[in-house]
Amino acid sequence: MLIGKLYTLEQEETVEGGGTFRIVWNAQHPVFEGHFPGRPVVPGVCMMQTITELLERSLQKKVIIKKASNMKFLNMIDPVINPQTDITLQYKIQENELKVTATLKFETLTFMKFQGTFAEI
């Protein structure tokens, strides 16, 4: 949905139970015209969709979020100032659910931390 449009995947390393990805935000994407004019910021919902898409890519299955037990937005992502973001995903299957932990950061700057539950669809 967003891959190839709002962001491109620059690097990918998947392992059993997780993966690391480097994405590059498309600062010219129309979403930034409204969020926010003159000061583009990646919307939180787009960060969550990016986590979902990369999780699906790792699992080779469609998933849906069931619960966000802990979601922290620590710094804004300005795609002009911070065009790259490294995303780390860890997941484990428990009781037919995927327990997921994700971090979006670049170098020492952390943008978002997430812990929650997904289900396969």
Partnered with residue 67 across adjacent β-strands are 117
Does residue 88 contact residue 18 with C-beta atoms inside 8 Å? yes
Tokens 């620590």 map to which residue? 74
pLDDT digits (tens, 9 = 90+) for 85-105: 999 999 999 888 999 999 999
Determine the pLDDT at residue 118: 98
Q: Give which of 27, 23, 30, 33 is closest to 3, Cα–Cα.
A: 23
Determine the pLDDT at residue 100: 98
Give the Cα separation of 80 and 35 in Å (integer).
13
> Within 10 Å of residue 50's Cβ, how many Cβ atoms?
25
Q: What pTM, to 2 d.p., does this model score?
A: 0.95
Determine the pLDDT at residue 11: 98
pLDDT digits (tens, 9 = 90+) for 10-69: 999 999 999 999 999 999 999 999 988 889 999 999 999 999 999 999 999 999 999 999
Identify the structural domains of the chain with CATH numbers, from first to last.
7-120 (3.10.129.10)
Partnered with residue 21 across adjacent β-strands are 12, 87
**Residue 66: what residue type?**
K
Determine the pLDDT at residue 38: 86
Determine the pLDDT at residue 106: 97
Give the Cα separation of 113 and 105 in Å (integer).
9
